[in-house]
Structure 1
Amino acid sequence: MIRKYIWERKSWLLFVIAMELLFIFVAVLDEAIPLSPILYMVFLSSLLFIIFVVIRYQREVKFYQKLQEWDNNLNVTDLDYPVAPFEKIVAESLSKQADLLKESSSDIRTAMEQEKDDLLSWIHEVKTPLTAMHLIIERMEDKMLKSQLKYEWLRIHLLLDQQLHQKRITFIENDLYIEKVDLESILFGEFKTLQSWCIQKGIGFDLDLVEAEVLSDAKWLAFILRQLLTNAVKYSEASEIMIKSRMENERTILSIQDFGRGIEAKDLPRIFERGFTSTVDHHDNASTGMGLYLAKKAAGPLLIDIQAGSIRGEGTTFSLVFPRKNDFVGIMEGI
């Protein structure tokens, strides 16, 4: 801060130093002017100038420190009362900007809330004809056509479900209910949803749950598992998907292993990024790059760590590492 202040006032310093050197230079050239009084005056003027700079620095540095803090809270009332005319101009300008920003941010927040509510309402309305469509499809006799329509219906259903949870995920902390959750019942519910797709692709599930219960939120855990299972089915063909649970260091670990195309090693660190699909399979238009991103984001408030391992051409394993029971004390108190 001192260096910045001195550099900003360099014109002052150079001017004062130049004037004092000029006085000394004139006294040296003109023998009629005694040098000692001139040196004494230069010393006193230098001392007074230093005192002046220190006082100004102490006053102005407080103002500009508050100015830096203003960036974070937009509260100009925290600024020291401006003394210098320039400080007054800055303070008035910032005050006007803060008022405009607060008004616009409030309007934006209201508009976003309205947009979210409208979209959620629209999704719920779409679900009604979608359910009716599913019932109609179930009554069809043409098995080939029925299978194709069920697959397309499932794609729409999963995309709507993903969009619904994407809008809700911002307020996930207000929507959590931590309880003992039966992994088997949740998984079988997801198997049933994906059944037509799995039959079409010749995919089965091998379930081995040593630990069948975890502490979590049933609805959001189902959403996380839905994204991982959908991902496994999407990139597998005519193979088993192995789902196992075990206890390790007082933590339940649930693993979902597929034997599909796998993930390139260079892509693995980025698979949970928003919108990331693949740097290798550019032709894959079915992937939105949102499923794993949303799963990771939903796992955070549930204290679930999602880990991924993969070998290209051999398959991928996702592991959900659930928290210890004691880890939930704080989050349950917050709820």
Structure 2
Amino acid sequence: MMRKYVHERLSWIFLVLVLQLLLLFVAAIDRTIPFMPMLYIVFLSLLVFGAFLLIRYPKETRFYQNLATWDDTYDLNTITAPESPLQSVVMERLNEQTDKFRSETSQLVAQLEEEKDELMSWIHEVKTPLTAMRLMIDRMGDEPLKEQLRLEWLRIHLLLDRQLHQKRIPFIENDLYIEQVKLEPLLHHEIRELRAWCLQKGIGFDLNFSVQEVLTDAKWLAFIVRQLLTNAVKYSEAADINVESGISPDGQAWMYVRDRGRGIETKDLTRIFEKGFTSTRNHEDHAATGMGLYLAKKAADSLSIRMSVESSPGEGTVFTLHFPKSNAYIHTLGM
């Protein structure tokens, strides 16, 4: 800040120096004015001016130093009160702009909330006829047509479900209920939902649960598992998908989903959880949205679940969920 302060006052410093040099110049050309006393006066004047700058420095920069460290909370009470008319002008404009931004932000938040509520309401309304369609499909006698309709119904169901959870994720902290969740019933339910798709592709499941229960939120864990299973089924052909759980040497529970599909390019592994990212290997796959893994990772982070991935092109992919210990939830949720 000292350098900026000197730079700000550079014109004044230059003016004082020029005036002192002018006095010395006049004393040098006018023999009636003694030069040495004048040089002594100039020296004292410069000392007084230097002391004045040092004394004024903290007073004139206090406001700006505080402004430089101002956080983004829009709380102007943390800024030191202005000590000069020009600082008052700055403060007045800051207050006006802050009030304007607060008003605009409130309006945008209210608008987003309204749009979110409308979309959530629409999704729930669509689910009613979708459920009726499922019952009608189950009553059909034409098995080949029934399986095709079930698959298309499943795709619509998964898209709506993902959209619903995408809108809920920003407020996930308000929707958590941590409890002991049984893994096997949860996996069986999610696999049954994907039955039509799996039958079409000839995919089976091999389940092995060494750890039967984990401490987490059942609804959001089901959503995470749904995204991993959907990804595994999507990129696999006529091969079993393995789901296994266990416990690490340090007492941390884990569960992985392993497929034997096309795998992920090594250069893509660090980006697969980014919003909207799709494989660079099959970039022409327009059906991919790049949202499933992104949403699963966000939900996992909110649950303090660490998600890791291992993959090799042509050999399949393994997504592993590392569940936190109970004391980690106490720290995360502030219990």
- TM-score normalized by the length of structure 1: 0.95
Q: Name 1:59's counterpart in structure 2.
A: 59
Residues 304 and 332, structure 2, Cα contact 8 Å, conserved in 1? no
Q: Which amino acid is 1:308 matched to?
A: V
SS at the partner of 2:267?
coil
Q: Contact 1:178/1:332 (CA < 8 Å) preserved in 2?
A: no
Give the letter aligned to residue 323 of structure 2: F
Aligned equivalents of 1:109, 1:329: Cα separation in 2: 30
One-letter identity of the residue aligned with 1:37? P
Alignment of structure 1 residues 74-113 onto 2, 5 Å: 74-113=74-113
Q: Secondary structure at the match of 1:328?
A: helix
Residue 255 (structure 2) pairs with residue 254 (structure 1):
yes
Are residues 1:211 and 2:206 paired?
no
Residue 231 (structure 1) shift: 0.5
| 1:162 CA drift (Å) | 0.6
Deviation at 1:70, TM superposition (A): 4.1
- Name whichever of 141-150 and 118-127 sits farther off: 141-150
Cα distance change of structure 1 residues 19 and 332 upon mapping to structure 2, 3 Å threshold: closer
State the partner residue of 1:276.
Answer: 277
SS of 2:68's equivalent?
Answer: helix
Give, in angstroms, the shift of residue 71 of structure 1. 5.0
Q: In the alignment, does 2:308 pair up with 1:307? A: yes
* 8 Å Cα contact 1:274-1:293 kept in structure 2: yes
Structure 1 counterpart of 2:263, which letter? G
Q: CA deviation at 1:331?
A: 4.0
Instruction: Give the alignment's Cα RMSD to 1 decimal.
Output: 1.5
Could you tell me how far 1:308 is from its partner in structure 2? 0.3
Instruction: Kindly provide the CA deviation profile for residues 154-198 of structure 1, in whole angstroms up to 9, marking residues without a partner as x.
Output: 111111111111111111111111111110000000000000000
Q: Secondary structure at the match of 1:77?
A: helix
- The 5 A counterparts of 1:1-335 are 1-70=1-70, 72-248=72-248, 249-331=250-332, 334=335
The Cα shift of 1:69 comes to 4.0
- Residue 264 of structure 1 aligns with an amino acid whose one-letter code is E
Distance 1:307 1:222 in 2: 17
Q: Relative to structure 2, which stretch is displaced further, 77-86 or 44-53? A: 77-86
Task: Look up the SS of the partner of 2:196 in the other structure.
Answer: helix
Ranges in structure 1 where 5+ consecutive residues have no aligned partner: none
- Whether the 8 Å CA contact 1:307–1:319 is kept in 2: the answer is yes
Q: Is the 8 A contact 2:245 2:256 kept in 1?
A: yes
Count of paired positions: 334
Q: Which runs of 5+ in 2 are unaligned?
A: none
1:99-121 residue CA offsets vs partner (Å, 9 max, x unmatched)? 11111111111111111111111
TM-score, with structure 2 as normaliser: 0.95
Q: Determine helix, strand or coil for the equivalent of 2:245.
A: strand
Match of 1:73, SS state, is coil
Deviates more, 1:270-279 or 1:75-84: 75-84
Q: After superposition, give the CA deviation of every residue in 1:235-284 in whole Å (9 maximum; x if it has no partner).
A: 11111101111110201111111000100100000000111112221111
Q: Does the residue aligned with 1:32 lie in a helix, a strand or coil?
A: coil
Contact 2:211–2:245 (Cα < 8 Å) also in 1: yes
Give the residue type in structure 2 aligned to 1:276. F
- The alpha carbon displacement at 1:61 in A equals 1.4
Aligned with 1:263: secondary structure?
Answer: coil
Secondary structure at the counterpart of residue 266 of structure 1: helix
Mapped partners of 2:79, 2:317: distance in 1: 56
